[in-house]
Structure 1
């Protein structure tokens, strides 16, 4: 039994996710589209379970698992096989660890793979091609556990000495109570687990903390249903008006769309109520769509809506890796167009032809074809060829990206250099202190340059150290302004902070960066020049925090005579060739990038030499 208007719930989830992935900075909260899918899956699966038990007094667990397997696994494998050959169009950096990514996707462990490897759903740099399959992992975990629990419940309830109708009521009530308990537990785990985090990927990816939308849907199913419907819901539908319900459904979708504009992945409010609100709104949309089905017995769903709903799962699988690949080759709008032009036909082919063939069924699209052996043989040959290409590509995929290699090497150099540098500077400071007979005399800042930076600085550390005279470098990936402040204060306390302080921070700017930078400026002791290197991100628009940092830093020399700005943002923008095939932030060992970056720092130091020290 196909419920009309459910297609629009699927379409809403798909549109939110696609908009988020394609235009993340414009539509930052579109990730709630996944929660619409989760809620809908929890509702649909549970409603079908309730229907099955009401009709047969049984729940066939293995049959349930078999249906889930044929619906989920073949499209997933097919999408991987189609996408991998296209990776030869872009930098090998984008297939780093490809074998592990594929194993995690097919093994439905991508969510924990990303947690263990430090991945982020909002990764700014080299995104994994199959990071989006984290949601399939959470979904599969739900199916395995929920199906097993339902099998146990049905076995227990079947032993009760009640008539079949009473048993069905008890089963429905049990499902509702357990769904409510599990939803509350999962949501509470997310809300509590998000406390103190700056990267929320851990609670976002986890099956434990992000399973409550499924149980919200399951709870709704216990009150409504599809074929087997409680009397209370029957009475509610009997009084429903098609016009009113349609208006309420449209309004619910509109609120979901507005919520996608407001939520932020990096805001804790998202995890203490935002995702729950999205799930509840999704449940309301499902409820209203179910009621509208009852109110419109003579009206059919538009064919285009049914088509999009049918291919929504496969299109979800294809869109992300295709977009990652083509966004490296063309502009974002064209990448979106190419992604859809390739993704939609592949998704339709998968749903209407290949998946039925794999399941041993006659595809409806080929009902006039009686001999499908040539088609099956052709598909088998294509599959074998694609598997060979995928296996070869995964085997030869790099273990580390060029950026990761540079950061690793830079980290080793930094650890070794800091030991010698700290020793030499401290000894010089101690010697200077002993010369001072006046107890009130202050130790002067050591001559030279202290560079404090993030992953961009770390990636070019070796070259920078050789081409910026008398410098020490302390750089680390993902370093934010507040962390740079801590490094500066530690060096200052230990009297190893040199006269020229170069701050190369801003690409990882979080909310509150301006207050952090003001704090850094205020607490820098007298006797120093402060050189601020503006951050650069090739993809950044004016509303990005990194762009705002650069704009703000350019205003500071007019307010503080000891501050100089080295405008890396503008210099880097003149050399797009440095970032070709990269993430648009790092240049991963490309010497031309090292040269330009060192030039930016040295230009800043030359300008600073003409200004007074902080008084």
Structure 2
């Protein structure tokens, strides 16, 4: 039984996710589209379970798993096979660890693979082609656990000495209570687990913390249903007005859209209520669509809506890797067009032809075409699959283990560790060789040593070798993911050990967290007299004025007017003049390109030249 208007719930989820991935800055909360899908899946699966028990007084677990397998796995495998050959169009960086990515996707463990490898849904470096399959992992984990729990419940309830109608009512109530308990537990785990996190990917990816939208949908199913409907909900539908329900449904979609405009992945409020609110709104939309189905017995759902809903799952699979690939070759608008031009036909091919054939059924698209030989069509697809499997296997085997950026950071880290050991040794030896008159360690020097101390993040670490050779008399301490408070700790340690040089260059800000202004003010205040401070403004090609990194850069430019010992090295401005340096990158790092090394060193040296004309801190 197909419920009219459910297609619009699926479409709302798909449009939200696609808009988020295509235009993330314009629609920063579009990731709630995944929660719309989760809530709908929880409702639909649970409603079908309730219908099956009401009709047969049984729930066939293996049949349920088999249906889920045929619906989820073939489109997933096909999308991988289609996408991988297209990776030859772009940099090998984008297939780094491809074999592991594919294994995680097909093994439905991408969510925990990303957690263990330090991946972020916001993707600060080169994005994984199949990172979006984290949601399939969470969904599959829900199916496995929920199916098993339902099977156990049905076996228990079947033993009751009641008539079938009463057993069905007990089963429905039990499902509702269990759904409510699991919703509360999962949501609480996300809300509590998000406390103190700088990156919320751990609670976002985890099946434990992000399964509550499914149970919100399951809870709704226990109150409503598809075929087997409780009397209270049946009476509600009988009293409903088609115009009122239609208006309420449209309004619900509008509120979901506005929520997508307001929510932020990096805001903790998203995890303490935002995602739950999105799930509840999705549940409301599902309920209203179910009521509208009954209110419009003589109306048909538009064919275009049914088509988009049918291909929504496959389109979700194709859109992200295709967009990642083509956005490296053409502008974003054209990448969107190409992604849709390739994704829609392959999604339709998957749903209407290939998936039914794999399940042993006649393809949906061939109904009415009895003259089409199915066996010949199957042979064509098998041949194509063999070829694509060979290409995918070869590509995964030849894929690099590290991206160019990761190699640069790794090498830079080794050089830095060596330099730090040398610096520490020199400090200790100087103290040993220069005792005071009474044999004690000499007093701290009254003047800071001349030269340049550079304290930076992953951008600085990636260009560390070049920077060290082209910034005279400099030492460099850089680390990935370094924030202003961590840079403060490095500066204070060097200051305490009397190795902080006269010119202090702070290359921090891309990873700016809330409280960045207080952190920078503290760094300025605690810098001892005898130093100059050169602040390198952060650059992120993706950033808009609302980002912390943009606000930090604007604030830094106001400081020289207040503090004569502060100078700005405007990397943000200089980098924006050289967009080619960042082509094919994450928009922050330049992946070891010498052209990027040159302009970064130029920004630092320009800042140092300007600083030479300013006084030391008094």
TM-score by length of 2: 0.96
Deviation larger for 177-186 or 533-542: 533-542
Q: Report if aligned partners of 1:421, 1:472 keep a CA contact under 8 Å in 2.
A: no
Match of 2:572 in 1: 569
Match of 1:33 in 2: 33
Change (3 A) 1:471 1:435: farther
Match of 1:485 in 2: 488
1:550 aligns with 2:553: yes
1:498 aligns with 2:501: yes
Q: CA offset at residue 614 of structure 1?
A: 0.8
Change (3 A) 1:432 1:566: farther
The superposition leaves residues 416-443 of structure 1 with CA deviations (integer Å, 9 ceiling, x where unpaired) of: 1111113324665898995999x99972
Deviation larger for 116-125 or 462-471: 462-471
Match of 1:614 in 2: 617
Please give the secondary structure, in 2, of the residue aligned with 1:411: helix
Distance in 1 separating the partners of 2:463 and 2:437: 38
Q: Could you list the runs of 5+ residues in structure 1 that have no partner in the other structure?
A: none
Match of 1:53 in 2: 53
Change (3 A) 1:146 1:562: same
Q: CA offset at residue 546 of structure 1?
A: 2.5
Change (3 A) 1:464 1:440: closer
Deviation larger for 566-575 or 476-485: 566-575
Q: CA offset at residue 252 of structure 1?
A: 0.9
Please give the secondary structure, in 1, of the residue aligned with 2:567: strand
The superposition leaves residues 167-219 of structure 1 with CA deviations (integer Å, 9 ceiling, x where unpaired) of: 11111111111111111111111111111111111111010111011111111
Partner residue of 2:381 out of 379, 382, 389 = 379
Q: CA offset at residue 495 of structure 1?
A: 2.2
Please give the secondary structure, in 1, of the residue aligned with 2:505: strand
Change (3 A) 1:145 1:441: closer
Distance in 2 separating the partners of 1:523 and 1:255: 47
Aligned length: 614
Q: CA offset at residue 140 of structure 1?
A: 0.3
Deviation larger for 245-254 or 516-525: 516-525
Distance in 1 separating the partners of 2:287 and 2:315: 25
Change (3 A) 1:259 1:303: same
Please give the secondary structure, in 1, of the residue aligned with 2:402: coil
Q: CA offset at residue 369 of structure 1?
A: 3.6
Please give the secondary structure, in 2, of the residue aligned with 1:351: helix
User: Equivalent residues in 2 for 1:82-161 (5 A)?
Assistant: 82-161=82-161
Q: CA offset at residue 586 of structure 1?
A: 1.5
Q: CA offset at residue 569 of structure 1?
A: 2.0
Deviation larger for 543-552 or 312-321: 543-552
Please give the secondary structure, in 2, of the residue aligned with 1:452: strand
Q: Report if aligned partners of 1:425, 1:446 keep a CA contact under 8 Å in 2.
A: no
Please give the secondary structure, in 2, of the residue aligned with 1:538: coil
Distance in 2 separating the partners of 1:410 and 1:441: 31
Q: Report if aligned partners of 2:461, 2:479 keep a CA contact under 8 Å in 1.
A: yes
Q: Report if aligned partners of 1:94, 1:129 keep a CA contact under 8 Å in 2.
A: yes
Match of 2:418 in 1: 416
Match of 1:315 in 2: 315
Q: Report if aligned partners of 2:531, 2:616 keep a CA contact under 8 Å in 1.
A: yes
Q: Could you list the runs of 5+ residues in structure 2 that have no partner in the other structure?
A: none
Q: Report if aligned partners of 1:190, 1:272 keep a CA contact under 8 Å in 2.
A: yes
Distance in 2 separating the partners of 1:403 and 1:341: 32
Partner residue of 2:536 out of 533, 536, 547 = 533
Q: Report if aligned partners of 2:463, 2:597 keep a CA contact under 8 Å in 1.
A: yes
For the aligned residues, what is the CA RMSD? Answer: 1.9
Match of 2:520 in 1: 517
Q: Report if aligned partners of 1:422, 1:496 keep a CA contact under 8 Å in 2.
A: no
Match of 1:70 in 2: 70
The superposition leaves residues 519-557 of structure 1 with CA deviations (integer Å, 9 ceiling, x where unpaired) of: 222221111110111222233334433333323322222
Distance in 1 separating the partners of 2:153 and 2:563: 71
Partner residue of 1:602 out of 593, 605, 608 = 605
Distance in 2 separating the partners of 1:125 and 1:493: 34
Match of 1:175 in 2: 175
TM-score by length of 1: 0.97
Change (3 A) 1:491 1:363: same
The superposition leaves residues 300-347 of structure 1 with CA deviations (integer Å, 9 ceiling, x where unpaired) of: 111111111111100000000011111111111111111111111111
Q: CA offset at residue 559 of structure 1?
A: 2.1
Distance in 2 separating the partners of 1:135 and 1:549: 34
Deviation larger for 573-582 or 125-134: 573-582
Change (3 A) 1:431 1:242: farther
Partner residue of 2:406 out of 396, 404, 407 = 404
Match of 2:392 in 1: 390
Q: Report if aligned partners of 1:429, 1:495 keep a CA contact under 8 Å in 2.
A: no
Distance in 1 separating the partners of 2:304 and 2:135: 26
Q: CA offset at residue 558 of structure 1?
A: 2.1
Q: CA offset at residue 133 of structure 1?
A: 0.2
Distance in 2 separating the partners of 1:592 and 1:426: 38
Match of 1:585 in 2: 588
Match of 1:350 in 2: 350
Change (3 A) 1:159 1:187: same
Distance in 1 separating the partners of 2:342 and 2:198: 36
Q: Report if aligned partners of 1:426, 1:495 keep a CA contact under 8 Å in 2.
A: no
Please give the secondary structure, in 2, of the residue aligned with 1:450: strand
